[in-house]
Structure 1
Amino acid sequence: MMKTLHLAALAAGAASAPAFATQYLTLEQAQRLVFPEASAFREQNLALSAAQMRDIEKLCALPARSVNWRVFGAYKADAAIGYLILDDVVGKFELISYAVGVNLDASVRQVEILTYRESHGGEIRNPAWRRQFVGKSAPAGLAIGDGVANISGATLSASHVTDGVRRIAAIAQVMLKK
């Protein structure tokens, strides 16, 4: 009987544990924020070949991780002006959803955090930290300690988002550069 009460109390406590997910931006909001001059966005998802995945891995020194990538082309009238690529990385325990805007030359235009699910480390949403990525291309300057400063208290989130942005910059270099 005592064991049953103890297990019920544990289950009730687990069910009422606080959730820390915060959605900061929707896809549409991120598109407008990153490409305010765009008149249209067109979904142009990528499917990488094995050779392209190897090229990306060489360029960013990280696993390409996925064959399929969700990409939106940004257009002003009928002219492409850039791409918004969506990704998720694990922070410490939970997923961080983010979007990376890339210019036609494959340089990073902007990084936006869409959803942050960790209880700590939300400082990666700080505009000054995210501005460190702007103008950079794979692989130069896109690593913690090499162009990107870490954030005390958000070490894993900062490191994993930085790796993700470096991977996306490599994808842009291999697949999207005009």
Structure 2
Amino acid sequence: KLTCQRLSELYGLDPSTPLFRVLRHLWQVDENGRPLLALLTALARDPLLRVTSTTILQMPNGEELMRQKLMNALRQSVEDRLNTGTLNTTVRNISSSWTQSGHLKGRVRKIRQKVKPTPIVTAYALLLAYILGARGGGLFNTLWAKVLDTPVEELISLAIEAKRLGFLDLSQAGGVIEVSFARMLTEDERQLIHGTD
């Protein structure tokens, strides 16, 4: 029960939390996207997982993950706040998270592979960037977009498909792209994020 409570607090598993409310909705409509939806949510809420993103995302496709790289990234972030045992457990759990998302494959030897986002996962990644203040074309150059292992042009195509499916609003003209999330966020949430939408 205590573990469930701690996980709920860490990952914001509360329907009154906008991120979780949106995740629950998307989870129901995008079964194929669930691994990436889960990872994006975890990255948004878990700073230790987020610290390892550069290590994973910079790996070429087919490269084996050297456990020490994750250990070094974490140690640089937490310095001496975690003992070696806790750090080892954290590395194991983080490796598992990246494997479950599809970025790594293999039980013992973790090999980097590219993921294939769905339009709905793309909309969610863009929403996370939007909540943190990114706008326009900048939405496609954030950590959240990079997690999708997809070139910007393809992400824009996926976002256009997400618009067609009713998950975001998007307009594009003269090299300028605008994306908004009136369909996913309430009016109060949009105002809370950055004044007005």
Structure 1 and Structure 2 fold alike (TM over 0.5): no
In terms of fraction of residues, the more strand-rich structure is 1
TM-score by length of 1: 0.32
In terms of fraction of residues, the more helix-rich structure is 2
TM-score by length of 2: 0.29
Pair member with larger Rg: 1
